[in-house]
Amino acid sequence: MANFYIGIVDRGGEGWGVTFPDLPGCTSGGRTMDDLFAMSVEAIGLWADVHLAEAHSLPHPRAMDELLADAEVRETIEAIGPVSFIQVPLVREAGRLVRANISLDAGMLQAIDAAAGRLGVTRSTFLVSAARDKISRND
């Protein structure tokens, strides 16, 4: 099960910025909201890697009502002005491969294998890359 962290989004000069109250010092930005989401997935993953190298566990993500009940979070929101919120998954590599049995339409499997062959990668590498792309775009 993935952890999802809530970020406070504000409009900057040439794009969007986000801070994550549950992940001190974790910030990101992007020219568009799609860029912001993709960069936020990466930022949270990198933040978690550094944090886990120094500590033994990650902060538990709070629900929106818990965040809004936090006086420091409310002060941040008031200081920024109009804000939006974004929910971003923590996506981390486990460092070990596992075998997965999945079912696909035969035609889809042929298309995947053909695309992987054109790119010079394995079927598994292609599927992982596609999944990463889909997750980071929030489609």
* The two structure tokens encoding residue 129: 């890359």
Fold of the domain spanning 95-139: Arc Repressor Mutant (1.10.1220)
Residue 62 DSSP symbol: P
Q: Which residue has the tokens 């999802």?
A: 4
Q: How far is the C-alpha of 46 from the C-alpha of 105, rounded, in Å? A: 35
Domain 95-139 in the same topology as domain 1-92? no
pLDDT score of 26 more than 70: yes
Give the start-to-end residue ranges of the domains of the chain. Answer: 1-92, 95-139
The letter for the amino acid at 75 is E
Contact by Cβ (8 Å): 116, 104: no
**By the 8 A CB rule, do 8 and 76 touch?**
yes
Q: What is the pLDDT of residues 82-135, one digit of tens each?
A: 899 999 999 877 778 888 899 999 999 999 999 989 988 889 888 988 887 787
Model confidence at 1: pLDDT above 60: no
User: Which among 12, 5, 46 has a CA at the least distance from the CA of 32?
Assistant: 12
| pLDDT number for residue 139 | 53
Confirm if 15 and 32 have CB atoms less than 8 A apart. yes
Indicate the fold that domain 1-92 takes in CATH: Double Stranded RNA Binding Domain (3.30.160)
Cβ burial, residue 107 (10 Å; 0-12/13-18/19+): exposed
Specify the higher pLDDT residue, 34 or 56.
34
10: β partners: 17
Share of the chain above pLDDT 70, in %: 96
